[in-house]
Each structure stands twice: as C-alpha cells, then as structure tokens.
C-alpha cells in the first residue's frame, strides 16, 4: 500500500500546488457554443436575413404612427366625451372591445350627474373635453399605443389606450379598435 501512495504523491500534477491542497477540482471544460445552444433551422435564418434592417422597420412604424394620429384623436375624443358625460358608452360599441367598453362604463360619469357647482345655465350640458398632448407609438403593423391628456371643465385626466387593427384593410377609423383602455 505504501508503494502506491508514494507513486501518486511523486507524480507531477498539472494543477498548481495551491489548488491541490484544497482538493481535486477538475478544470472547467469550455464547450463550443454550437454544442450548448439548440440549432436553429437553416431555412428560417436565410429567409429572415434580407429583411433585417432596423432603420427601415422603424421608419415604417413612424409613418404608421403619423398616419394614425387623426384616428387616435377621434377615438380618444369620443372616449373623453363619454368620460365627461356628453355621450353614453354604448355609442362606442363598434370602436371598443368588450373589456375596454366595461372599463369606460365604470369610469364614465353617470348620466345627469353634475360635477362641482358652477354658474352655468340649466340648459347647458356638460362641457366639451379638450384633448391635448396626444402621443402615438406604433408597436408593430397591427398595434398602436396612444396617450393623451384630457382637460375638462372641472378635471384633468390622463388617457392611455391600445389600438389594434381589426382586419387587413386600410388604416381608417372603422378598422382600428380600442382593445385596452386606461382612464386616469
């Protein structure tokens, strides 16, 4: 037994003396990235390579956002009218999805409810809401997020909404729907 112990102790070791005192720690094995990551299908890589121009994609999104600015202003203006009590939420059934319409109905002023006491005549209805600071950000060719500040007679509110294309038609008001709404 002593001959085998002395033979292993005198054999040169590739590990420095300091590491041998701690214990036998195997050196880490560095593997090529191809062994670690799953292989991507070659057809997907070659097909997507010509279209990878981030500047062109961003320019397309900026043009879409600019084109949808009037659409977003009309939609958020209609939402602001509901919040001010000028129109019922049911008027926007075709423009809002179910969850967005429920959110709007909860946040809307009940019909006939008045805000603070003001010196207006009984025949005058709720004041029109002014839409200011409209921002439009296109997330993709089928989704846009918008935000605005709404100044009413007695309250200033923030509105945020997500619009999605309802079908593959042109970008007009009937083809974009509000799918998420966050009235502040």
Tell me the per-residue pLDDT of 13-46, one tens digit each, with 9 for 90 and over.
565 555 555 556 667 777 777 777 776 665 544 4
pLDDT, residue 26, reads 67
**What stretches in the chain show pLDDT beneath 70?**
1-26, 39-55, 110-128, 168-174
10 CB-side CA count, 13 A: 6
pLDDT, residue 137, reads 94
Q: Please, what are the domains in the chain?
A: 53-109+127-183 (3.10.450)
Q: How far is CA 99 from CA 3, 85, 108, 158, in A?
A: 82, 20, 14, 19
pLDDT, residue 120, reads 46
pTM: 0.61
pLDDT, residue 119, reads 47
Question: For the purposes of burial, counting CB atoms within 10 Å of the CB of 173, is it exposed (0-12), middle (13-18) or buried (19 or more)?
Answer: middle
């Amino acid at each position: 037994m002593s001959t085998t112990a002395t033979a292993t102790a005198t054999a040169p070791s590739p590990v420095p003396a300091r590491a041998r005192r701690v214990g036998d720690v195997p050196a880490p094995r560095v593997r090529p990235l191809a062994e670690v990551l799953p292989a991507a299908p070659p057809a997907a890589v070659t097909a997507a390579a010509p279209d990878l121009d981030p500047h062109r994609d961003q320019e397309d999104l900026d043009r879409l956002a600019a084109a949808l600015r009037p659409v977003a202003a009309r939609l958020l203006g209609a939402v602001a009218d509901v919040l001010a009590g000028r129109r019922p939420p049911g008027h926007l059934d075709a423009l809002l999805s179910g969850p967005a319409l429920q959110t709007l109905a909860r946040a809307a002023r009940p019909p006939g409810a008045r805000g603070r006491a003001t010196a207006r005549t009984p025949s005058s209805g709720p004041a029109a809401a002014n839409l200011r600071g409209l921002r439009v950000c296109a997330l993709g060719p089928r989704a846009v997020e918008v935000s605005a500040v709404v100044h009413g007679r007695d309250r200033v509110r923030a509105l945020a909404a997500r619009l999605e294309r309802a079908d593959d038609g042109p970008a007009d008001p009937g083809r974009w729907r509000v799918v998420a709404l966050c009235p502040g």
